[in-house]
Each structure stands twice: as structure tokens, then as C-alpha cells.
Amino acid sequence: MAGPKARMSAADIEAAEWHGRLGGRNVDARMIEDFFTWRQSPANAEAYRRVETVWSGTGNLAADPQVNEALEAAFSRRTQRRRPPRLLLGLAAVGAAAALAGGFSFWLQSRTVFSTGVGEERLVQLADGSSVRLDTASRVRVRFDGDRRFIELQEGQALFTVAHDASRPFVVAAGDARVTALGTVFDVRREAAGVKVVLVSGAVEVADKAGAAKRMTAGQQARVTKAGVATRAADVDAETGWIDGRIVFRDAPLRAAVAEVNRYLPEKIVLDETVTGRASVNGVFRTGDRDAFVSTATEVFDLKASAGPGGTIVLTGRSE
């Protein structure tokens, strides 16, 4: 009879490896992008969910021995692969060069403010090994001290990859929301109605202004409003598509879709008030590609596009 090792699937082994990498101190933008690409496979996504369940202790460890063995093997290999500080510094330099070559700004900081303009993205490497990736028109303030790592998301959206440090919680404040993590990957976005948190891996605690808190697990999202904290399952691929330059729409109202596309455009799309109905948008668009969205909208919804003031494009209904 085959033992647990023989029953381990390639997805289980890879999921354990990814869990180990994302919990380490050498996480960069390329690693995050590679993880999202790998996790697009349903089999891989399910394997990663099993690993998260075992790791968080919410599942039955004995019932999933192959996942447990894969985790142990992955973390054993991570320990064996550790290199002298000189080599680690060299790898960090290579990572910084790669980030710059890929069009990102890359910093190593512990106390400062970072921001992006419309259509820009930036990767910030923090002094503790964590990283913050800023989406369009976003701003964060970073304050690290001896017993706490604190970041305020003042505008926009950011993806946080947190290096594990049990002695110093990693806290992200955004409006009335507080997200506390030790080692994980999560996305936070400020919106007019409140704050949205999407958990990619690990576990976080989300609290509102009154202090009411809920613990999230991977694959969930939380909305923090004046009414409190509400959690539900998340479409992580869609919610974090901006990481690799994608906007993913699934049954999005046309006006909401236009507003989302406009976040990345210096010259906006204007949807005329005469355009009514309950049209829904489905599809994937590149961030900043105004022409592609306008072309699709005019064809699918029978709209007319015309030049507006200040470089805008106005979408109106076609006259009968």
C-alpha cells in the first residue's frame, strides 16, 4: 500500500512551498505575481485552501496527513536553504533591480509617506522584510517602532505582504478599519462607503472604530462600515487583478465599471445621465486602456462615444 508521500499531489506540495515562501522575509512583487498565476488553477487554489486550514489549526490535522507532510517538508527545505547574510544582501539587490526594470519604484524604509498618481503603481520594501504595493492614486504613511508596525492607508488601495514577527503586530489603519496581522498577504481598499479587506493568505483580525473585531481566513473579504464588520467569501482573483494590471468585472453595473476604469485614467470616461437600464459588464480589461473599454461598451451596450472637454470621452445612448 502506498504511504502518505505517494498520495501527495503535486498541487499539495506546491501549495506548501508557496505557503512557506509567502510567510518569509524575502517576498517581492514577482513572487506575488507568480503566486497569483499559480493559484488561478482550481486544483491549486483548493490545495492552498487545505494548507491554510491545516496551518491555522481550524481543520483536522490527522485527516490530512499528506498536507501536513508537505508543510513539514517545505519548511525543512526553507531552513536548509538559508544563506549567509552577504548572499541575502546580494539577492535583495537583484530583487530591487528587477523591480525597477519592471517599471516599479522600490524603496527600503521604516518611517515615511509613499504615494502614487493616477495610473501609477509602486512597490515599497519595508525595513522588516514586509512589502506594500500601491495601486493607482494611493497613499500610505509608515511608522515602525520597537513593538509595533503601523501603516495608515490614507487614500486608495494597497496589497500588504507581511513578514512574520510575533513580537511586533503589523497594523493597517484605513478610515474606521483596523487590520492586524503577523505574517500574511492581504489587500485593503478605501471606498466612499467604507473599507474593503481581501485576505489572500494567512489570517488577520479586522476591527471597526468601536473595536468590534472579526477574524478572517484566506479567501474571505470584509467590509467595514459605520454598521460594523461584515465578512463573506471573496473572488480573490478579481479583487486583486490590479496586481498584474487587470480589472476583472463579473456582473458589474455599467456605472460602477466606468468608475473603476476611471481610477486608472487621467482623462476620464463620462457616462451620460441619459444612459439608463441595468446593464452589467463582464470581462477583463487592462488598467489604463481606455480605448478598449470604450470600444467594448459602445458595441455591447449600443452607445455612442464622442470627445468631451478636457480630453474626456462621453458615452451617450444612440438616438433612435
Chain segment 45-64, per-residue pLDDT in tens: 888 777 766 654 443 333 44
pTM across the whole model: 0.66
pLDDT in the model for residue 96: 36
pLDDT in the model for residue 40: 78
CA–CA dist 95, 257 (Å, integer): 35
Percent of the chain with pLDDT over 90: 47
Predicted confidence (pLDDT) at residue 257 exceeds the cutoff of 60: yes
Angle between helices 29-39 and 42-56 (to 10 degrees): 110
CATH 3.55.50.30 holds for 245-317:
yes
- List % helix, strand, coil for the chain (3-state, nearest 5): 35, 35, 30
Least confident of 24-28, 184-188, 201-205, 288-292: 24-28
Instruction: Decide: helix, strand or coil at residue 253.
Output: strand
Sorted by where each begins, the domain ranges of the chain are 4-80, 97-239, 245-317
CATH code for the part of the protein at 97-239: 2.60.120.1440
CA–CA dist 243, 69 (Å, integer): 31
Instruction: Decide: helix, strand or coil at residue 194.
Output: strand
- The larger pLDDT score, comparing residue 81 to residue 23, is at 23
pLDDT in the model for residue 142: 93
pLDDT in the model for residue 46: 82
Residues whose CB is less than 8 angstroms from the CB of residue 91 and which lie 6 or more positions away in sequence, other chains included: 26, 83
> Fold identical between 97-239 and 245-317?
no
| Conformational region of residue 156, where left means phi above 0, alpha means psi within -120 to 50, and beta covers everything else | left
As a whole number, the mean pLDDT across the chain is 79
166-182: string of b/e by CB count within 10 Å (b at 16+)?
eebebbbbbbbbbbbbb
pLDDT in the model for residue 29: 58
pLDDT in the model for residue 76: 47
Assign 138 a pLDDT band (cuts: 50, 70, 90). Answer: very high
pLDDT in the model for residue 23: 59
Assign 92 a pLDDT band (cuts: 50, 70, 90). Answer: very low
Phi, psi of 187 (to 5 degrees): -115, 135
pLDDT in the model for residue 17: 80
